[in-house]
Structure 1
Amino acid sequence: MTRLEELLTTWLPTQRWFAGKGVAVDALRIEAAHVVVPGLPGLRILVVAVTQDGRTDRYQVLLGLRSPGAVPDELAHAVIGVCESPAGLDGPSTVAAYDAAHDTVMTAHLLSGIAENRDVGAVRFRTTPGTGVHTGLRSLVLTGEQSNTTLVYGEEYVLKTFRRLWPGLNPDLELTSALAGAGSEFVARPHGWIEVDVADPATGRTTPTTLAMLQEYLRSATDGWVLAATSVRDLYASPGLPPGEAGGDFAGEAQRLGAATAAVHRDLARVLPTDVLGSEAQSRLADAMTARLHTAVAEVPELAPHAQTLYAAFEALRDSHADLPVQRVHGDYHLGQVVRTDSGWVLLDFEGEPAVPVGERQKLSSPLRDVAGMLRSFDYAARYQLVGHTDDAALVTAARAWAQRNREAFCEGYASGGGVDPEKHQVVLRAFEYDKAVYEVMYEARHRPHWISIPLDSITALTG
């Protein structure tokens, strides 16, 4: 009889949020199976350890259980398979296992648990102090996400479930809560979270670990990437016009986004720890950038013609004698992490890079790292529609002009909004931007080779 672990070994690698695609699963173990809704139909939150090529990662699975043949048609696409009944379940010898994120009956228990500050075994559901949560709302799974699963409840809440688990408080919950507590108007208000204790393999100690966070649903929100891409398409329709004269000019929004980013950085520095990196710490930072470049040049020969300029930028950071202020930052900042609402820009997804342990993501960094991330995003927005059309000189010229106009507008907004003036800190900003571009080259070479021209063309423009 098939065991649940066997089903998960086949099913997990097919999920968008699974990080180890293309690598054989050497071992899979269910570390914990927390019963949220007993019986059938039932809900369990699994913590699953997956070992691949000597590395073990943990994933959260919202496991629904029903009697075989009793799975509704609307859940057929979410079925994992039929397996022997897990321990502690009275009833049939076999059950149908499925991804309960798609089951509105089961996900209703997640929302009500948060609303009631309920403890269900080891799982703790909590409401953000000073807020209330309405129940009885039907959930819908958002599509297109890469690393998490988000449920929308009516038009009031979104529940982000963190699929890849690292022990500790997720920075998304930590920073969003800190910003909301500081009165920031640039974040979606948090309403609660779900947590459980997970053992840290590095120390052996258990630590409260965020499974999900509940935030307000932004009804009028439009994704920043979508807005920028629309502006670029408008420009490409009239490539002979300067970006400021084409329909859908984005520069005003870029400037306002810069000011919003600066305000968020100011609030983070006010309510969370800050520090200053001296020359020795900056040297280590430059060493890490140099090492990544060395790896990238060996892996992507097309990067070699630009290597000396990139190395020189990292050396300039190493030789800088000015102290570098550091603080908590977004950590993975780009146009896909911001939305435009009727009242202005809102920043989302403060979790940082999901592939990095929580402790690493909590380290202080220069706010210019976020600025560099957004500048790289403007370049991507301008150039990704050129894939396959890089021989069209007019469009290439238009793309560069659009990117430059919006980069400048963002930096002006950031400086006028109280952030450090990027123009006066070019050594640091250039190092962060080049480092991000090097990362992009390696990412595209490994995952989207047909997009590698985007970061390579950007590096050519930046270093030319």
Structure 2
Amino acid sequence: MISLGENPLTARDRGLTAAVLTLMAGEVPPPFAVRLFRPLPTFSHTPGDLHTGVPAERGFGPHVDQTNHSVVVGEQVVVKWLNPPVPLPHPAPEILAHLAEAGFNDTAPPYATLTCDLDGVAHLVAIVTGYLPQARDGWEWCVDEAVAGTTAFARDLGRLAADLHLALSTLPAHDAGRLRGAVPPVVTGAAARAESALREALELTDGEAGAWLASRAELLRRELAALDTPVTSPLIRIHGDLHVGQILRWRDGYAVIDFDGNPTVADADPCQPAARDVAQLATSLEHVAQVAILRRSTPPAQAAAWAATARTTMLAAYRARLADRDRPDLLDATLLRPFEVEQECRELIYAARHLPRWRYAPMGVLRTWYPEENIT
């Protein structure tokens, strides 16, 4: 499986993922190792699967944009093969184990991770989670909400994000001394990271969009200036890539998934202000509006009004949930705008490097934020 390259599942490999999953429930030979978070489910075989001796398996289909490769086994479990395997430490195993222990259930149930020693270095090979029936990610269901002009869902998103942060704030890896009481200012390097993102976005964005971005560069820098001030809110383990595409709406509600961290940010500190996740979630709602404009012909003014209401509703629900749990200190609202600006820069970098057609979304958001009359 490790050597199969960029597509670990082909027709000839049918049954391989299910067979490996079955083996993970028993003794695993070196150099492999399994970390179980909860007992793996048992599977039944349909008559059509008797020739392989394992349960049915399938992919998610070509319409699902994935960095890695996921296989659904027996309509009960999803095995995500990391492609290629990633050297440890990796954020997912620790976070999944903690969320299971903390009783956070608004995610795909974590079952196990598979690791392997490659050239003397432990690598994460696969992550096994529960399958959520009728699940659709936010780039589908949330776009439908934008087209319909409905925003009640945003309360659920705010509560979900707050509950996630409340659970992650108890992860022992962060500085427990910063949980309560007087919090000493901490220099996080956020300003330098944001300036680097802006500089790279300016370098990589060409044509008319690049000229427009350059004309707003100083305004963007002023927005980022708040990051020069030492952070006084708690630093917690964050999701690191929290956008609507990571939030599934399924048969029984909502679930946040994919704790691999941000694939476009190298060496990101796992402990950061919760505001970074909240800012990315907020900007993703504005990206949804841009998708609705381009792909579903939603009038721009209508989409912008929807995005404004959705993000306001989400943020209000997030704050209310923290207040209900006596943790309003987790969110420093002054960090939201600079983190949002940095996120749009990172979206432009991602578009330039990996998905050029995506540039319309962050550019559309920035044009909404900084219309012609506000460039000085």
Match of 1:324 in 2: 233
Match of 1:106 in 2: 16
Would you say 1:179 and 2:102 are equivalent positions?
no
Q: What's the CA shift for 1:309?
A: 1.7
CA distance in 1, matches of 2:269, 2:24: 25
Say if 1:428 and 1:61 are closer, same or farther in 2 by CA, change over 3 A: same
Q: Let me know the Cα RMSD of the aligned residues.
A: 2.9
Q: What's the CA shift for 1:295?
A: 2.7
Do the aligned residues in 2 keep the contact of 1:368 with 1:432 (CA within 8 Å)?
Answer: yes
Larger strand proportion of the pair:
1
Q: What's the CA shift for 1:172?
A: 2.2
Match of 1:81 in 2: none
CA distance in 2, matches of 1:461, 1:354: 26
CA distance in 2, matches of 1:383, 1:447: 19
Q: Say which SS state the counterpart of residue 322 (structure 2) adopts.
A: coil
CA distance in 2, matches of 1:384, 1:323: 36
Match of 1:139 in 2: 57
Match of 2:48 in 1: none
CA distance in 2, matches of 1:361, 1:287: 13
Larger Rg over CA atoms: 1
Q: Say which SS state the counterpart of residue 144 (structure 2) adopts.
A: helix
Would you say 1:402 and 2:306 are equivalent positions?
yes
Cα distance per residue 1:87-111 (max 9 Å; x no partner): xxxxxxxxxxxx5586233223211
Superposed, 1:282-361 pairs within 5 Å as 282=188, 284-299=189-204, 300-318=210-228, 320=229, 323-354=232-263, 360-361=267-268
Q: What's the CA shift for 1:292?
A: 2.0
CA distance in 1, matches of 2:348, 2:67: 21
Aligned residues: 345
Q: What's the CA shift for 1:126?
A: 4.6
Do the aligned residues in 2 keep the contact of 1:317 with 1:428 (CA within 8 Å)?
Answer: yes
Would you say 1:384 and 2:291 are equivalent positions?
yes
Would you say 1:457 and 2:375 are equivalent positions?
no
Would you say 1:161 and 2:71 are equivalent positions?
no
Q: Say which SS state the counterpart of residue 387 (structure 1) adopts.
A: helix
Q: What TM-score do you get using the length of structure 2 for normalisation?
A: 0.82
Structure number with greater CO (CA < 8 Å, separation at least 6) is 2
CA distance in 1, matches of 2:330, 2:22: 49
Amino acid at match of 1:133: P
Gaps of 5+ in 2: 44-53, 205-209
Gaps of 5+ in 1: 1-43, 48-58, 63-98, 200-205, 235-242, 244-248
Q: Say which SS state the counterpart of residue 39 (structure 2) adopts.
A: coil
Pairing partner for 2:122 from 198, 208, 216:
208
Superposed, 1:1-40 pairs within 5 Å as none
Match of 1:51 in 2: none
Identity percentage over the alignment? 25
CA distance in 1, matches of 2:112, 2:310: 36
Q: What's the CA shift for 1:462?
A: 2.5
Say if 1:425 and 1:361 are closer, same or farther in 2 by CA, change over 3 A: closer
Pairing partner for 1:122 from 31, 35, 40:
31
CA distance in 2, matches of 1:169, 1:448: 28
Pairing partner for 1:427 from 334, 357, 364:
334
Q: Say which SS state the counterpart of residue 276 (structure 2) adopts.
A: helix
Superposed, 1:406-417 pairs within 5 Å as 406-417=310-321
CA distance in 1, matches of 2:199, 2:320: 37
